[in-house]
Chain A
Amino acid sequence: MVLFYSNCAHGAAHTLLTKTPADPKLWYSAVLCLLLRLLCHLWLAKLNSALTYTCEFAVRRDMLQAAAALGPFSPALSPSSAALLNEIAAAITPYFAAYRHTLRQVMVLPAIVLFFVAQVAPLSALGLALMCPLIPLFMIFIGKKAKELNDRQLLQVRRLSARFFEALTKLPFIFIFDLGKRELKAVQRMSRRWRVQTMQILYVAFLSALALEFFATVGVAFCAITLGFAVYEQGFSYADALFVLLCAPEFFLPLRRLGQNFHAKQRAVAAAESLQQLLPTDLSVATWHDDANAPATGLAPTLKPTAQHSSVINSAVSLSPQQLAACSIVKLEFTQVTLRYPDGRCGLKNASFCLCGGQLNVLSGPSGSGKSTVLCALAGLLTPCTGSITLTLSVAQPLGRRQELRCSLSELNPAQRQALYTFVPQRPYLFYGTLRDNLRVACPDASDEMLLGALRMAGATSLLSALPQGLNTKLADNHGGISGGQARLLALTRALLHPAPLILLDEPSASLDPSAERELAAALQRLKSGHTLVVAAHRPSLIALADTEVTLGAR
């Protein structure tokens, strides 16, 4: 580009000063330089796009994994986080793609321009060079202030988003309790505050742009005037002067772009910090993955020799998930177990009891006594603070022998625990989509026959006949479109599609009418033969079915 301007300047000077047409060679070489520049830019664009890909993908992937690792009980995670995650991804990518990119240009391009300028007009070059370091100085100063404000801003965005989401998920509630006006006012107030605060940030953030802009403009003006006088009074070469004038904006261009992209950087830094709140779990993300892969890779060699020698496996810990899924449970012992949720709530205190394999175990007790908590602990979602949960398994050996193994539940890795159980939550969440999609959540490549089979097993066929579109029935959020009881049956069906020796059910009969409840009872009796069932229940009818009843919270 510099060469282009130099050619132009010489050509123009030639024309203007000598009043004769310039050498066409100059023009040709100018066009050639232009083409070169085009190629250069294309190459840069290509690099930049590759960078965008890597960055965008990495950010989103890491965030999803972090969200998954945080787990369902984390107070940091709410549905509105989805918007936040999107926001963060949108904020971070421009930082790498635009800001860092321009920053690199800032390092290189002005230096090159300066070099060429210095060759023809050392004095101007000196002026430009002096102006240069002032810019970052100002930017750092102003940037600090802007960042402070930006942090507050991100908090606002999160609050606003949470508010919106909350209101939107509770539209019927808001309608019934006439809270519409109040919510609207709150949203109004919040968005006004948001606007005012954002403007405050911008007043400051644009100051940094202003500083850049000022130096760039003044630099150009300074060049123009001093060069003009130099040409007029000292007989400085006009061609060189023109060249410097043309180069001056080029010199400041990357710096000005930096100014424009500067608040991209601010946003990204603030976003990255809020990401930090999600990502302290970075380590656990890594371990989760190691755990998931370990049984497939790490443990395979250790399993082989034992299989060859058909010797005794000492502990269930060394079993693969597939082997665990095929074994049956003999006993589950809770000794002095205390369980706590991540938010500090105590779910179960010093409880000791024993659940038997191949039976229907019912957990009963008043609400809040820890029934669901026990199920969560069995699912490995909670780890006992004190005490231990001991698992006794019976594993099929070659030659039809069976062997009993004992281990503590917390010794198993997530993938192994996962293979042991399937779970029907108290308030099952059905996804937005068709019934088929929802059932396939548990088993992505299940055929329709398998789905129907599972529905039969759960005693939910009558449900299907009530829905005219069958498996294609579309469900809205929170099982909108079907009744609460139907949703529970679907959740049971979904759980049965994930084969495991232990079935955990949290109040499966809630919202069921008596006939459906009878069907469910029959289904549970059927399941008992091959599985161990643990059911949290209130209904006497369900408690009556129990082979073993554990009453929690009794004093």
Chain B
Amino acid sequence: MALVKFLRLLRTHQQAALLGLLSSWCASLASIGLMATAGWFLTAMGAASAFGILLNLFVPSALIRLLAILRTALRYADRLLSHQAAFLIMEKLRTTLFSAALQLDHYAQLRFAQADLERRLHSDIEKLELAFIRQFEPSVCAFLSGALVSAVLAYFSLSLVLCFALCYAAAGVLFPALAAIWGQQLNLQLSRAETRLHNQTADFIRGLFDVTVLGMLPHRLALLTDLAADIARLRARLTFLEGLTSALLIVMSALCFLGIILTAGDLYLSANISAAQTMMLAIGALACFEGLQPLSAALLSLPETAQAAARIDELAQGAKRQQGTQQLAGRLKRITCQQLCLQPDATSAPLLTDFNFTFRAECNYAIQGPLGSGKSTLLHALCGLIPPQGGTIVYNDIAGQELSPESLHRELTLCLQEPCFISGSVREMFTIIKPGCSEDAIKSALSEVELLDFILGLDGSLDAYVGREGQSLSGGQARRLALALALFKATTFLLLDEPGEGLDAAQEERILTRILNSRRGVIMVSHRAAGLNLCDNVLRFERLES
């Protein structure tokens, strides 16, 4: 199943993949040819001197030199071309997956833990890349050259083919397959453990502060270290298996050589073939085994690759956000909720049922209510982040599911409860929202949230780097910066989720008054009294008792 999908992926960069494959195959053929000709030449010379025959010396010795150079050049081309093909495929896959992740609906996003999502995009793709170079290509090449050598052998004698095919199949297919079956469990465990470690490490780093202050650092560290020990143990066992199969491969190739010499020797004695041909066949077959070398590792890591492919596929097939295509004509004047029913995630009970209300662009609204009564969920639904379970949200006259989100977000913006912005300098944060905006516009947005003096006081003022999630800002400053970004977008509707948290009462009052006095279409979720007197409507939510 995974293989079919992989092949389909290859089709997108057919040419590159084929070129890589071809050069790889030619290189292995040249290598076999070199050894075979060398064997033939030497034996022919030996025979010639023993039996006193004259030989054309020039052609074979030139052929040997030619093949030697050809092989070297082809090997280089092969490496480059197959890597090129693999990288092209991976680049494509990476962007496709990233866009898939962007389009995932809110529930699906919650379900894929973010660390996991990132792993899918990163190491899983890398595994697939290796799959092409280390698994797919060598397998195809080994199969093709094996078939060719068999055909040549068959031209001389069937018993030779039998001997070769037996050894070749044993070394190339049987032993790796056995090892793979044996190693499959190990491999699955390893892959699972690695995912777990990765997720937990990401979790650990993000929660490092909490873990540290709770005094649980050594404990957590011990847990992670145990996991790392497990991984190391599994990896060691796999290495052993790999060593085992490659040892068997060498032994099988030697056995094959021996077998062919014996059978061909009999043929020679019965005067069916010449001495030189005998040696050519034997050494040629021996050289053919070289192509099998990557195969054992390939089959061993097959489960790992299959898992990576499955995980990537799962992401690509994840539930997509439903997006309409209609555009709003003119300004967004009103948002009407009709019998709206909302739940925060797919499994829990609904928070909001049968909610009917019209938000108008010329009024300001406040929403209050106890914890978990669905205030934030309503805001998320209004901006299209989550789809309603029942009922519809109508923007002007267009139903929410038919409206394109780009069009909606030109008219409506939400300042999330947790301060959130793309890391970069302050100026970058603003310019990605409105490319080419003036410095004055940025400054006025900053001064509206009383952050201008602070930012200008930073080293580099507007170009100061504000680290990941605004780490170099205090909690209240980060929140005000996020608020400034939302204000800066200057949409008709402005949704604010607890804008005053993390600010002291006086500052909250000042900022909210400034916002509510100068703007309309503000929908604000708040627990506090600040700014309520400036709202035209106050909605009070109650918690649904189930």
Contact = CB atoms under 8 A, between A and B. Distances in A.
Interface in B104-149: 104, 106, 109-111, 113-115, 117-119, 121-123
Contact of A426 (B91, B236, B475, B485): B475
Interface string A11-24: 11101110111100
A4 B455 CA distance: 78
Interface in A167-218: 167-180, 182-184, 187-188, 191-192, 194-195, 198-199, 202-203, 206-207, 209-210, 213-214, 217-218
B235 A56 contact: yes
A116 interface: no
B169 interface: no
Secondary structure at the B interface, as helix, strand, loop or mixed, is: helix
B55 A232 contact: yes
Given A64-B225, A511-B501, A41 B246 contact: yes
Contacts of A177: 409, 413, 432-433, 485, 489
Given A34-B255, A425-B213, A427-B418, A345 B472 contact: yes
Interface residues of A, number: 175
Interface string A227-257: 1110111010010011001100100000000
Given A16-B275, A178-B405, A210-B75, A539 B505 contact: yes
A443 to B, nearest CB: 8
Interface in B45-92: 45-50, 55, 57, 60-61, 64-65, 67-69, 71-72, 75-76, 79-80, 83-84, 87-88, 90-91
B151 interface: no
Contact of B42 (A60, A168, A227): A227
Interface string B265-304: 1001100000100110011000100000000000000000
B414 to A, nearest CB: 5
Contact of B115 (A82, A225, A238): A82
A326 interface: no
Interface in A464-511: 466-468, 476-478, 480-486, 489, 491, 494-495, 498, 504, 506-507, 510-511
B209 A220 contact: no
A477 B115 CA distance: 9
Interface residues of B, number: 173
B507 to A, nearest CB: 6
Given A8-B261, A176-B383, A228-B45, A213 B75 contact: yes
A17 B225 contact: no
A418 B87 CA distance: 49
A529 B48 CA distance: 107
B170 to A, nearest CB: 14
Given A172-B106, A220-B34, A427-B418, A21 B269 contact: yes
A507 B467 CA distance: 22
Contact of A80 (B118, B224, B236): B118
Interface in A22-79: 22, 27, 30-31, 34, 37-38, 41-42, 44-46, 48-50, 52-57, 60-61, 64-65, 67-68, 71-73, 75, 77-79
A252 to B, nearest CB: 12
B67 to A, nearest CB: 8
B241 to A, nearest CB: 8
Given A242-B43, A426-B475, A481-B110, A49 B240 contact: yes
A350 interface: no
B38 interface: yes
Given A86-B194, A245-B39, A426-B502, A367 B216 contact: no
A367 B235 CA distance: 50
B449 to A, nearest CB: 10
A37 B246 CA distance: 12
B202 A79 contact: yes
Interface string A156-175: 00001100111111111111
Interface string B219-234: 1110011001101110
Given A42-B247, A57-B232, A166-B468, 20 more contacts: A12-B278, A31-B258, A38-B248, A38-B251, A52-B236, A83-B122, A87-B123, A161-B122, A167-B98, A172-B420, A178-B409, A184-B95, A210-B75, A213-B72, A231-B46, A429-B207, A476-B110, A477-B114, A507-B502, A538-B503
19 contacts: A12-B278, A15-B269, A19-B269, A41-B246, A45-B243, A56-B228, A178-B406, A202-B79, A210-B75, A221-B38, A228-B60, A345-B472, A367-B480, A368-B473, A441-B214, A442-B216, A478-B114, A478-B418, A510-B501
- 10 closest Cβ contacts across the A-B interface? A367-B476, A45-B243, A41-B247, A423-B213, A238-B46, A224-B38, A53-B236, A60-B228, A57-B232, A72-B209
